[in-house]
Structure 1
Amino acid sequence: MATAVETLGKLERRITISFPLTDVRTEVEKRLKVQARTAKAPGFRPGKVPLKMVAAQYGYQIESEVLNDKVGRAFNDAANENNLRVAGFPNIVPKEEAAEGQLAFDATFEVYPEVAIGDLTTVELETVQAEVSEAEIDKTIDILRKQRVHFHTKGEAGEHGDGGEAVAANGDRVTVDFVGSIDGVEFPGGKADGYAFVLGEGRMLPEFEAATVGLKVGEAKTFPLAFPEDYHGKDVAGKTASFTITLQKLEWAHLPEVDAEFAKSLGVADGDLAKMREDIKVNLQREVAGRVKARNKEAVMDALIKVAELEVPKTLIAQDSERLAEMTRQDMAQRGMNVKDVPFPAELFAEKAERRVRLGLILSQLVGDNNLQATADQVKAQIEDFAQSYEDPREVLKYYYSDRRRLGEIEALVLEENVVTYVLGLSKVTSKAVAFDELMGSNAQA
């Protein structure tokens, strides 16, 4: 039996559930007898253990199961009878005062809110677009060349030349011994032998790199180095050290020529440079399209948050905060970080969770009102689009269609795109061109 629904707040509700204690006892006895059929105990054959011994061993567990079942069933029945859309899980606690022979529980919970979406035809949206030019292809080729760089001893003649005068310069890879001290005392981490780095990449502090430039193999130099106040080494942050470096090895960087061999290293079997550039262009266009889509989706989601009015259930925010915290922990663990004893307070993720939940409720309302569900053909097309960048597209299709959860992720993605298309079709949209570098440097996330 359940009482009438009490309204405690905009979304918070409470129901009192009660049922006879005899119902619980009857069900417990029934389950104990079933348990006794297979129960084992020293000195007794299976199924011959006295019921009192079975009750002593399993009684508490079975009673808890019966209570959970009865309370859960009663709550679900009450929610259905009152047409309540319960958000998250109810908080159920025993009621101190109950009628004689009755057990009573208070179930406090939240319901899903009403979502009021404003007039989308009044929404002003700015979308972006970007092009892939020959300059972007050239930049990408330069990056690919640098990824395939190899080093040769500077000053020694070889197949690719000698690299020029054997003096350390930006772009060279240097191997040094160094030792640092503060007030004449060496400090932890301030000494190394055979330490290699490339000048100009910014791996070392500017003063350290500047002191290395101009050295020849075997030469040493002593110089002051002021550690920044925010330096990661707290023991030396904000202090000035004296360093002595000795150049042990000097190598110059040789970038591969853009020729047939280079094209083959990028997967162009016949080494055709025009084919290589076309492949790079196609890949860049795919990446640009993805970034543009993400930026425009973010603009639509921001607009929907502004135009929609709703209360967001705290229960759902808390659940999503916990989910985000656990996802972060798993991600860091997969990257090889030891996070076993690192706390991940869910509160840190509350703001992001609130946005996610809010958007989820808004999108659900829009999809239901306007029949924007993902179709099977749309899902297949999306997976096929993903598969284009893989060597065996059939394996990608199999990967998604063999797992309902993975397929659900694609369905959710298509659903979001349907919403974006719908909103853009109603809103006042202006488009602006953005530079390739600006777009590729952004990390738009809806």
Structure 2
Amino acid sequence: MMQISIDQAEGLERTVNIELAAEDIQSKVDEKITELGKEVRLKGFRQGRVPKKILVQRFGQHARQEVLGELMQNSIEKAITDNELELAAAPEVTKTDDADDGGFVFSAKVELMPQVPEINFSDIEVEKEHADITEEDVEGMITNLQKQKQDWKDSKGKIANGDLVTLDYKASNKDLTYPKKDTEHMGILMGESRIPDDLKKALTGMKSGEENSLEVSFDDAFNVDELAGQKVKFEFTIKEVKKAKLPKVDEEFVKSFGIESGDVEKLKKDIKNNLSRELKQTVDNRFKQKALEALRSQCADMPLPESMVRRESEYMAHQEQQRAKQMGHDDAPLQEASKYEAAAKERILNSLIIQKIAKKQDIKTDFTKVREQINEIAQTFEQPQEVIQMYYQNQELMSSVEQNVIEAQVMDWIESEVKIKKNKLSFDDIMKPKVNE
């Protein structure tokens, strides 16, 4: 008769010890030999007439190995089920041994899922931002659309914000002269390009053809490698100044964005709807981050399965490498998984918290919301019906949407339970947060 015992190791690890009885093993081996005898063909014997003794000699060891594999799998599953163990990863067999009486003993290491502690949601306060979409926000977006189609005209006037400036320069200090010979070109979009403040101030008000020289400190992230992190004497000549000429917001302009009627008010309405959708998504995401951060603090002492942390860290490292390759860095190295361990732990803990809430509150996927989300995604493409069809035919895409929906439903429940601290901001304050946030 099979015997099972479980030893508690460190943290979430357990060792399952199983002893398989000799008679159980032999019974299964005999069954396998009998089945084999019905099919096997050996020279000198008719099919199904090979003596059992010969079958055992030829196939007995192989049959025993197959039986042991099946019994080990079944016995581990029984141990897990009978002891109500919820595993974080597949069991790992760590020890095997044949018993003197023909039995078999083995041990398997398992790692359990942690138990998320009870959380008192009513004691938690989470900030949630909100904003109104104003006419200024809509007009600002229209200006951005105009800039996408703007023309550049040569200018003899003074340089101001928004101008496109081309200059020739030479930079030097006691350790550096760049370039070694002649001068180098630099293009600057005033107010947009990342340049030192001293250089921006010097350029403002200058005209094409004028020269200047000043001390400039470039930060480490400056896009000219030779100048990054350097303090230099910067000598330059303004070679060209161009000012932007924005197109008129008229019927032709509106039609260029796919609105066949050319109706400016229709464009404004579409812009406002898009801004509202983007605002809601950003507000929801930021609330989710803050809420989950507060909930994680309630689970600070909860151990996480090392196997899950390792897998998630490795997955994140591969994701980062793939992103780099998609951006053209074909030789991007695979970073050490340990670099992503802290972020991996946050992801895992977030997932465990969401899963526990969904299970405890019996929150099921709302498939009406799944359809709504797919339709919303599709509307951002030129052929929405094709996108909708693609989603419904791809189980991986559908699973991703369903996961997003169940998470959103859980976040709605969390919002209804915690204390909400409302914070009204402008659209720009929410959509373009300060760098130090």
Q: Which residue of 1 aligns with 2:164?
A: 173
Q: Which residue of 2 aligns with 1:317?
A: 309
Q: Which residue of 2 aligns with 1:106?
A: 107
* Unmatched runs of 5 consecutive residues or more in structure 2: 41-62
* Unmatched runs of 5 consecutive residues or more in structure 1: 38-61, 156-164
Q: CA RMSD in A?
A: 3.8
Paired residues for 1:38-53 under 5 Å: none
Q: Which moved more, 1:233-242 or 1:102-111?
A: 233-242
Q: Which residue of 2 aligns with 1:406?
A: 397
What secondary structure, in the 3-state scheme, does the structure 1 residue paired with 2:147 have? helix
What secondary structure, in the 3-state scheme, does the structure 2 residue paired with 1:116 have? coil
Mark the CA change 1:125 to 1:235 in structure 2 (over 3 Å): closer, same or farther: closer
**1:402 Cα deviation after fit:** 1.0
Say if 2:295 is the partner of 1:294. Answer: no
Mark the CA change 1:261 to 1:326 in structure 2 (over 3 Å): closer, same or farther: same
Mark the CA change 1:211 to 1:118 in structure 2 (over 3 Å): closer, same or farther: closer
Say if 2:192 is the partner of 1:201. Answer: yes
Equivalent AA in structure 2 for residue 108 of structure 1 = K
Contact 2:15/2:109, CA 8 A, preserved across alignment:
yes
Contact 1:16/1:104, CA 8 A, preserved across alignment:
yes
**1:355 Cα deviation after fit:** 1.8
**1:134 Cα deviation after fit:** 0.8
Q: Which residue of 2 aligns with 1:335?
A: 327
**1:139 Cα deviation after fit:** 1.6
Contact 1:379/1:411, CA 8 A, preserved across alignment:
yes
TM-score (structure 1 length as normaliser): 0.76
Contact 1:2/1:74, CA 8 A, preserved across alignment:
no
Mark the CA change 1:183 to 1:369 in structure 2 (over 3 Å): closer, same or farther: closer
Equivalent AA in structure 1 for residue 336 of structure 2 = P
Alpha-carbon distance between aligned partners in 2 of 1:291 and 1:422, rounded to the nearest angstrom: 18
Equivalent AA in structure 2 for residue 425 of structure 1 = S
Mark the CA change 1:228 to 1:322 in structure 2 (over 3 Å): closer, same or farther: closer
**1:85 Cα deviation after fit:** 1.4
Give 2:413's match in structure 1, choosing from 391, 408, 422. Answer: 422
Say if 2:366 is the partner of 1:366. Answer: no
Alpha-carbon distance between aligned partners in 2 of 1:212 and 1:299, rounded to the nearest angstrom: 42
Mark the CA change 1:105 to 1:128 in structure 2 (over 3 Å): closer, same or farther: same
Mark the CA change 1:233 to 1:189 in structure 2 (over 3 Å): closer, same or farther: farther
1:304-348 per-position Cα deviation (integer Å, ceiling 9, x unaligned) = 3344584422221222111111111112211212344x2412122
Q: Which residue of 2 aligns with 1:147?
A: 148
Q: Which residue of 2 aligns with 1:382?
A: 373
Equivalent AA in structure 2 for residue 431 of structure 1 = K
Q: Which residue of 2 aligns with 1:116?
A: 117
What secondary structure, in the 3-state scheme, does the structure 2 residue paired with 1:263 have? helix
**1:69 Cα deviation after fit:** 6.7
Q: Which moved more, 1:355-364 or 1:115-124?
A: 115-124
**1:229 Cα deviation after fit:** 7.0
1:67-113 per-position Cα deviation (integer Å, ceiling 9, x unaligned) = 87765554334323433211113343335x76446765432221122
**1:273 Cα deviation after fit:** 1.9
Q: Structure 1 vs Structure 2: percent identity of aligned residues?
A: 27
Paired residues for 1:14-413 under 5 Å: 14-17=15-18, 71-94=72-95, 99-100=99-100, 105-155=106-156, 165=157, 167-183=158-174, 186-187=177-178, 193-213=184-204, 216-228=207-219, 239-307=230-298, 310-340=302-332, 342-413=333-404
Alpha-carbon distance between aligned partners in 2 of 1:72 and 1:283, rounded to the nearest angstrom: 54
Contact 1:329/1:339, CA 8 A, preserved across alignment:
no
Alpha-carbon distance between aligned partners in 1 of 2:366 and 2:360, rounded to the nearest angstrom: 16
Alpha-carbon distance between aligned partners in 2 of 1:355 and 1:324, rounded to the nearest angstrom: 12
Q: Which moved more, 1:317-326 or 1:295-304?
A: 295-304
What secondary structure, in the 3-state scheme, does the structure 2 residue paired with 1:136 have? helix
Say if 2:9 is the partner of 1:8. Answer: yes
Aligned residues: 402
Alpha-carbon distance between aligned partners in 2 of 1:269 and 1:191, rounded to the nearest angstrom: 53
Alpha-carbon distance between aligned partners in 1 of 2:209 and 2:67, rounded to the nearest angstrom: 82
Contact 1:17/1:106, CA 8 A, preserved across alignment:
yes
Mark the CA change 1:63 to 1:344 in structure 2 (over 3 Å): closer, same or farther: farther
TM-score (structure 2 length as normaliser): 0.78
